[in-house]
Amino acid sequence: MRRWPVCLQRGAAAIEAVLLLPVLMLLALPAVDLARALQTHLVLVAISREGASMASRGIGPLRASSQAMMDTLAASAPPLDMRRDGMLFVTRVMGSANVPLALEQYRWLAGGLDARAEVARCADWDAEGGCTVPMGMAVLPDGGTPDDGEVVHAFEARYRFRPWFPLLPGLETEMHALTIF
């Protein structure tokens, strides 16, 4: 009779652990996705910063260099799969009497995400991923409008974040980072 309670209690420990495990997993798994989301955002910010820097400091015309530049940026993005879930845009914006005007915009031809740029909306892309027809007013954050006749480069990185454990709805979300140089 003495052994029964021991066996029972041993079993109870296992059962306790089994009962607790889902709760623990429920707590731990979103933490994994949270970390991944943070990392994704961090990479996007880094890409947009590097892209804006390359666009404003690089050598040669933007049209000729934009695709190679974006390829390089995407290659530095892993673990993000930019070719499947990402999209990059660079927009050249001119200040004209305190109004930002989009002059030209290039999108990354190898980007897999079907997204639109926030700074300016291109109506018709050409084969080189460019849009030079006057695109009208650009939308820049507060303080981003350049001086009259001055030009800034806005680099946007967009990415569809796919959680590994989509426990909650709405976790699959499009992330976005914008840097203006």
25 interacts with other proteins by CB under 8 A: no
150 interacts with other proteins by CB under 8 A: yes
DSSP 8-state code for residue 144: -
53 interacts with other proteins by CB under 8 A: yes
> ∠130-132-136 over CA atoms, to 5°?
125
SS3 category, 142: coil
Touching other proteins, residues 86-105 (CB under 8 A)? 92, 94, 96, 101, 103-104
Residues 6+ apart with CB under 8 A from 54: 69, 72, 73
User: What is the nearest approach in angstroms of other proteins to the Cβ of residue 89?
Assistant: 16
CB atoms within 10 A of CB 61: 9
57 interacts with other proteins by CB under 8 A: yes
User: What is the nearest approach in angstroms of other proteins to the Cβ of residue 32?
Assistant: 10
Query: For residue 76, how many C-alpha atoms fall within 13 Å in the half-sphere facing its CB?
Result: 16
| CA distance linking residue 80 with residue 76, whole number of Å | 9
Q: Select 23 or 123, whichever has its Cβ closest to other proteins.
A: 23
Q: Select 94 or 120, whichever has its Cβ closest to other proteins.
A: 94
Q: Select 35 or 167, whichever has its Cβ closest to other proteins.
A: 35
DSSP 8-state code for residue 169: T
Q: Select 26 or 84, whichever has its Cβ closest to other proteins.
A: 26
Cα torsion at 56, 57, 60, 63 (round to 10°)?
-30
User: Contact positions toward other proteins, by CB under 8 A?
Assistant: 2, 5-6, 9-10, 12-13, 16-17, 20, 24, 27-28, 31, 34-35, 38-39, 41-42, 45-46, 48-49, 52-53, 56-64, 92, 94, 96, 101, 103-104, 140-145, 147-153, 179-181
